[in-house]
C-alpha cells in the first residue's frame, strides 16, 4: 500500500457511525475498502469494510455488500470471519464491522511458491470445514479464491478464516433460491471458477465450492493454478472443457501422496455429479485410508495377550529333573518332495494371491478408479484382493459416470457401456468483468 494513498484517504481519522474511529487503511477490494478502526467506548480494534461512495447508490452493489454480512452472521464457525455489526452513518456510508485479523491471505503465501504437502492439506481441510458449515446453513460461497482465505496463527500453527461472502447464494423459505442479479452474469474468479459457472448455468449448488477448493489445493501443491490463459474467455473455456494435468506431473519437487492427488482430481471433475457430494467427504478423502476400528479392537487385545504370555514364559520357575532319562528315539520325518508351486508352500509362508480383473469400457479411454484411487484408462488390468469388495468407477468426458461393486474371487473380466450425457442448451454468456 502506497503511503501517499493512505495519507490521502478521507476516512482515516473519521469516526463511522459515531462509534468506530478509523486508524488506517489495511486493504482495498472491488467491493470496498477495509480499515482498522477502534471502538470509541470499548477501545477494541476492529476491521471495518466500507462500501465506496460510487457504489452506494447502486442497488445491486448494496445488496451484494449486505449479503456478505448476512451470510457471515448466519454461520457460527471458528474458521469463518466474525461479523459484529452492519450499519450506516449520517454521511450515508454503509459499513460492516468484523473481527480484526493478524496474518496474511493465502494469495500472499502462494507468491513464495508451492507449499509443503502437509501444510497445503491442513489449510484445505480447515477451509473445507468452514464451507461445510456454510453449506449446512444453506449458503454457497461461489467466489472462493486464495485472497478470501486468511491465515492467522493459533497455538503456533496456521488457522484459517474464510472471508467475503459477497456473492454467496442464500437459500431462504421466503426467497427460495435467488440469483444475485436479474441477469445471467458470470460470477466467481476465472482462475478457480467451476465449469457450471463458466458455462453460464444459473442454478449451482455447494459442489461449485468443492471445485474451487480443489483448484486452490492444486495450486498450493504445485505452485501454479490448474489452468492459465491470456484472457478471461480462455480460462472459462478451459475450466468448462479441459481436464487438468495430474498435480504430480506439474510439481517437480513435492511428493504428493496418491490419495491426495486422487481427491484433488475428483474435486475438479467437470460434472458436479462426479465430484465429492459434500465438503466433508472431500476433507475425509484428504486424510487418506484409515485402519478400521475392528482391526484395532481385535489387534490390541491379541498384542497384549502375546506380551503377557512372553513375560510369563521368561519368569516361569524351572527345576532340574530328579533323574536323567533316556530321550525317546524320534520317528523319522516323512520325506516330502519340494515343489516349485507357491500354492503348495502357502502353509509355510502365506502369500496373498491377487485376482486379476480385466476392465474395459465402450467407448474406451475412460478413467478407472478403485475405491477412489485412479488406476489408469480402459482397457486396464486391476490386481484385486480376493473376497474383498471394491467399488470400480468409470469416468469419461461427455458420458455419465458408472460404478460397479465387485467381490473378486477368481480372474474375471468387466465391460461397462457408458451412456452419453444430455446437456441443456447453453445460455448466452455475459460477463461483468
Q: Give me the CATH number covering residue 26.
A: 3.30.200.20
Tell me, yes or no, whether 110 and 189 share the same domain: yes
CATH code where residue 379 lies: 2.60.40.10
Tell me, yes or no, whether 33 and 149 share the same domain: no
Residue 249 CA, distance from chain mean position: 19
Instruction: Find where cell 524320534 sits.
Output: 330
Tell me, yes or no, whether 35 and 64 share the same domain: yes
Establish whether 143 is a catalytic residue: yes
Report whether 431 contacts 376 (CB < 8 A). Answer: no
How many domains does the chain fold into? 3
Prediction pTM value:
0.64
The catalytic position among 9, 143, 177, 341 is 143
Report angle CA 399, 401, 402 to the nearest 5 degrees. Answer: 125
From the CB of residue 312, how many other CB atoms can be counted at a distance below 10 Å?
A: 9
Tell me, yes or no, whether 371 and 395 share the same domain: yes
The three-state secondary structure class of 154 is strand
Q: What is the pLDDT of residues 196-230, one digit of tens each?
A: 988 887 678 899 999 999 999 999 999 999 999 88
Which residue from 39, 147, 32, 47 is spatially nearest to 93, judged by alpha carbons? Answer: 32
Q: Is the pLDDT confidence value at 281 over 60? A: yes
Last residue of a domain, one of 255, 289, 323: 289
Q: What is the pLDDT of residues 369-385, one digit of tens each?
A: 888 888 888 898 888 88
87 in any annotated domain: yes
CATH code where residue 113 lies: 1.10.510.10
425 in any annotated domain: no
Domain that holds residue 367: 355-417
Tell me, yes or no, whether 214 and 139 share the same domain: yes
Q: What is the pLDDT of residues 324-379, one digit of tens each?
A: 445 555 555 554 444 455 444 444 445 557 888 888 999 998 888 888 888 888 89
Tell me, yes or no, whether 228 and 215 share the same domain: yes
Within 13 Å of residue 282, how many CA atoms lie on the same side as its CB?
35
Tell me, yes or no, whether 262 and 150 share the same domain: yes
Tell me, yes or no, whether 84 and 140 share the same domain: no
Report whether 38 contacts 44 (CB < 8 A). Answer: yes
Last residue of a domain, one of 244, 270, 289: 289
Tell me, yes or no, whether 35 and 127 share the same domain: no
Amino acid at each position: 500500500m502506497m503511503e501517499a494513498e493512505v495519507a490521502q484517504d478521507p476516512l482515516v481519522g473519521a469516526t463511522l457511525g459515531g462509534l468506530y474511529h478509523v486508524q488506517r487503511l489495511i486493504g482495498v477490494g472491488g467491493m470496498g475498502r477495509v480499515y482498522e478502526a477502534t471502538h470509541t467506548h470499548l477501545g477494541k480494534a476492529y476491521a471495518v469494510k466500507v462500501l465506496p461512495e460510487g457504489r452506494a447508490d447502486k442497488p445491486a452493489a448494496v445488496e451484494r455488500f449486505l449479503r456478505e454480512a448476512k451470510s457471515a452472521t448466519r454461520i457460527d464457525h471458528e474458521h469463518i470471519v466474525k461479523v459484529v455489526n452492519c450499519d450506516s452513518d449520517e454521511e450515508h456510508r454503509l459499513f460492516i464491522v468484523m473481527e480484526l485479523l493478524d496474518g496474511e491471505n493465502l494469495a500472499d503465501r502462494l507468491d513464495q511458491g508451492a507449499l509443503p504437502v502437509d501444510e497445503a492439506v491442513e489449510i484445505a481441510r480447515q477451509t473445507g470445514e468452514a464451507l461445510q458449515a456454510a453449506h449446512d446453513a444453506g449458503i454457497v460461497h461461489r467466489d472462493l479464491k486464495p485472497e478470501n482465505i486468511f491465515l492467522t496463527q493459533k497455538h503456533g500453527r496456521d488457522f484459517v478464516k474464510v472471508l467475503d461472502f459477497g456473492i454467496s447464494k442464500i437459500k431462504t423459505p421466503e426467497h427460495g433460491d435467488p440469483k444475485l442479479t436479474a441477469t445471467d452474469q458470470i460470477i466467481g474468479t476465472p482462475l478457480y471458477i467451476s465449469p457450471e459457472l463458466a458455462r453460464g448455468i444459473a442454478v449451482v449448488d455447494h459442489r461449485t465450492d468443492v471445485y474451487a477448493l480443489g483448484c486452490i489445493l492444486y495450486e498450493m501443491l504445485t505452485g501454479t493454478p490448474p489452468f492459465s490463459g491470456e484472457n478471461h474467455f480462455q480460462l472459462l473455456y478451459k475450466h468448462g472443457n479441459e481436464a487438468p494435468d495430474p498435480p504430480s506431473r506439474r510439481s517437480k519437487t513435492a511428493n504428493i501422496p496418491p490419495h491426495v492427488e486422487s481427491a484433488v482430481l475428483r474435486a475438479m471433475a467437470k460434472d458436479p455429479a462426479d465430484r465429492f457430494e459434500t465438503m466433508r467427504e472431500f476433507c475425509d478423502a484428504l486424510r487418506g485410508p484409515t485402519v478400521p476400528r475392528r482391526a484395532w479392537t481385535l489387534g490390541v487385545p491379541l498384542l497384549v495377550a502375546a506380551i503377557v504370555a512372553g513375560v510369563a514364559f521368561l519368569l516361569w520357575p524351572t527345576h532340574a529333573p530328579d533323574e536323567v532319562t533316556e530321550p525317546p528315539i524320534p520317528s523319522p520325518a516323512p520325506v516330502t518332495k519340494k515343489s516349485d508351486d507357491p500354492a503348495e508352500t502357502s502353509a509355510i509362508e502365506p502369500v496373498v494371491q491377487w485376482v486379476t480383473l480385466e476392465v474395459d469400457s465402450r467407448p474406451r479411454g475412460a478413467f478407472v478408479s478403485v475405491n477412489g484411487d485412479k488406476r489408469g484408462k480402459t482397457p486396464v488390468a486391476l490386481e484385486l484382493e480376493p473376497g474383498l469388495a471394491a467399488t470400480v468407477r468409470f469416468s469419461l468426458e461427455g458420458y455419465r459416470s458408472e460404478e460397479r461393486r465387485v467381490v473378486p474371487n477368481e480372474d474375471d473380466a468387466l465391460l461397462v457401456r457408458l451412456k452419453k450425457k444430455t446437456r441443456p442448451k447453453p445460455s448466452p454468456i455475459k460477463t461483468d468483468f
